[in-house]
Structure 1
Amino acid sequence: MKNICLFLVLIVCNLMALEIDGFSHPESVLAGSEVYVSNIGEKREALAKDGDGYISKLSESGEVLERYFIKGLNAPKGMGRVGSVLYVADIDKIKGFDLANKNQVFEILIKDAISLNDITILDGKYIFVSDNRKGVIYKIDIAKKKYELFLEVDSKFGGPNGVLVDREADTLFVVTFAPAKKIKGSLLGYSLKDKKMIFQTQPIGSLDGIAFDKDKNFIVSDWGEKYQGKIYRISREGKITPLNLESMKGPADIGVNGNVLWIPKLVENKVSRIQNF
């Protein structure tokens, strides 16, 4: 009887995971009542200005509504939404698109950027964007279309990748990534007031994405070694717990909406939707 119950539990758990394929190196998921997936393009060339990058639109349940919702991008990565505008990091530019009609309504060139990566929203006026290869985070004034260098991350931690604002804690959280330098990335927190580091975990791995779960713990993706990627839950005290998931290739900029975790598996050209994680 116990074996039968275990079998049924395993079936239920499996039903809570959905894998969606057909993407082109999916890098980021922005999850809400509508879900957006950025695709670098046919080739895994993060800096190629080739125009074959795009944004896909999915339903909350995982149905692909429009594979090519927004086209003509280069190598789109992180995304953020302010009202009806979707902001996208595209190599050295931030582009904004009206979600109602797909028209481009915003663009700013970050002149000294190398590889803009993730976006997080401070409020309706400002957004932050990381540049992993340059090792900095920019602050962008949306209305004025101006930017400033907000923070330079010490290279001993690796380059800033995923970024996440916690307005209540007045903190900008950053995960770092530098496998080429054989540096294990960490989760870091910086005060928005004086930019001082006020939170730091132990070194973890090649960290890419960061999001809050429903209890305000951190969910962090790690590319791992030899494409044995993992997802971790990190408490506000810094306790690190791996989620009980199979290893994956290239878990990038994850998204969370309520009890649903979205994982873009960049190397596999798939996106996973995991409920009750």
Structure 2
Amino acid sequence: MKTLLPFLLSLTLPMLTSPLVVAAETVATKPALEALWQTDGLRVPESVLWYQQQNNGKTDSLLFVSEIDGKGNEADGVGGIALLNTDGSIRDKDWLRGLNAPKGLAVYQGKLYIADLTEVVVVDIASAKILNKIKAPEAVFLNDVTVDPKGVVYISDTRLNRVYKLEQDKISVFLDNVEAANGLTVVAEQLYIAAADKLLKVDLADNNKTVTQLASGFAERADGVEAVGNGDFIVSCWAGLVYYVHADGRIKELLDTRAAKLNTADIGWDAATKTLYVPTFFGNSVQAYKLDLQ
């Protein structure tokens, strides 16, 4: 683990033509991100999930990190899940191994759900044991996963432009024709989908499954999406961008690491501490930022 001080100092040098300098100036107004720490030595981290549990009567917070390790579209069995502490230190580098390009993560009632290329892997968190592997019909590239309050799991397939749902150990198609469907999150019976350059939503109580647009205009294809907790959202774009999305659809760039070739994949979020966790994919690191809204 190391701090981001050298990286941040490099942004203050008088290189007026540098895209990173532009990004630093862009985040000068609120909301803005303040760098906290960076953990290196991970193996192609794609997704981060903040999780809180009770451990011997005490509250314990940790980060699940999915590591592709091999290629993102191959069933090579070398992927896995690492555990980090919320200060960036590594808790368990090999908590779970033997997966196939694992990406999005979600938790429900003590179980971890993993989007693992063409199937959803269900893991008992307490024992780190795989309980089930459920194949999604026709799946090509499962990407993100989220769970609604009733325990229904939703999974995106970016290559098929599709969102599946997992219910009672069976996966079926929930939505089709959602271009580049990727990041997913559920808030108050609304499913939010980061897809292409848009943030979309679907009312889960709507039998017609009408898709409406909340925001658009991301400069790159969207990857992860997290609800801030005040009606707003944070959206990452894999190419190296992070945006703040207001409830009224306005978007603001928070971070641009494209010039440094640091991809920003499926982000994690702790609403209580307003901490954003960003996996850098080929950068093999996770970076933490404090979101300043004031």
TM-score normalised according to structure 2 size:
0.79
- State the match for 2:112 in structure 1: 86
Instruction: Point out where structure 2 has 5 or more consecutive residues left out of the alignment.
Output: 1-8, 13-31, 52-60
- State the match for 1:164 in structure 2: 185
- State the match for 2:203 in structure 1: 191
Q: CA deviation at 1:276?
A: 3.5
Residues 250 and 83 (structure 1), Cα distance of their counterparts in 2 relative to 1, 3 Å cut: same
Give the one of 34, 51, 70 matched to 2:62.
34
SS state of the match for residue 175, structure 1?
A: strand
Residue identity opposite 1:19 in structure 2: Q
Between the aligned partners of 1:196 and 1:244, the Cα distance in structure 2 is: 32
| Paired residues, number | 247
Deviations 1:180-199 (A, max 9, x none): xxxxx211112221311223
Residue identity opposite 2:198 in structure 1: S
Identity of aligned residues (%): 29
Residues 130 and 15 (structure 1), Cα distance of their counterparts in 2 relative to 1, 3 Å cut: closer
Q: CA deviation at 1:222?
A: 1.5
Give the one of 204, 209, 212 matched to 2:224.
209
Instruction: Point out where structure 1 has 5 or more consecutive residues left out of the alignment.
Output: 1-6, 178-184
Q: CA deviation at 1:101?
A: 1.1
Deviations 1:215-251 (A, max 9, x none): 2311001234xxxx11100011100011156555210
TM-score normalised according to structure 1 size:
0.83
> Is residue 2:284 matched to residue 1:256?
no
Q: Tell me whether 239-248 or 229-238 shows the greater mean CA deviation.
A: 239-248
Q: CA deviation at 1:63?
A: 1.4
- Asked if structure 1 preserves the Cα contact closer than 8 Å seen for 2:135 and 2:171, the reply is no
Q: CA deviation at 1:66?
A: 0.4
Residues 246 and 135 (structure 1), Cα distance of their counterparts in 2 relative to 1, 3 Å cut: closer
Q: CA deviation at 1:124?
A: 4.3
- Asked if structure 1 preserves the Cα contact closer than 8 Å seen for 2:33 and 2:255, the reply is no
Residues 163 and 241 (structure 1), Cα distance of their counterparts in 2 relative to 1, 3 Å cut: same
Q: Structure 1 segments of 4 or more deviating over 6 A? A: none
- State the match for 1:151 in structure 2: 175
Residue identity opposite 1:207 in structure 2: A
Q: CA RMSD in A?
A: 2.1
SS state of the match for residue 31, structure 1?
A: strand
Between the aligned partners of 2:166 and 2:255, the Cα distance in structure 1 is: 37
- Asked if structure 2 preserves the Cα contact closer than 8 Å seen for 1:130 and 1:136, the reply is yes
Residues 124 and 190 (structure 1), Cα distance of their counterparts in 2 relative to 1, 3 Å cut: closer
Higher relative contact order (CA 8 A, sep 6+): 2
- State the match for 1:223 in structure 2: 238
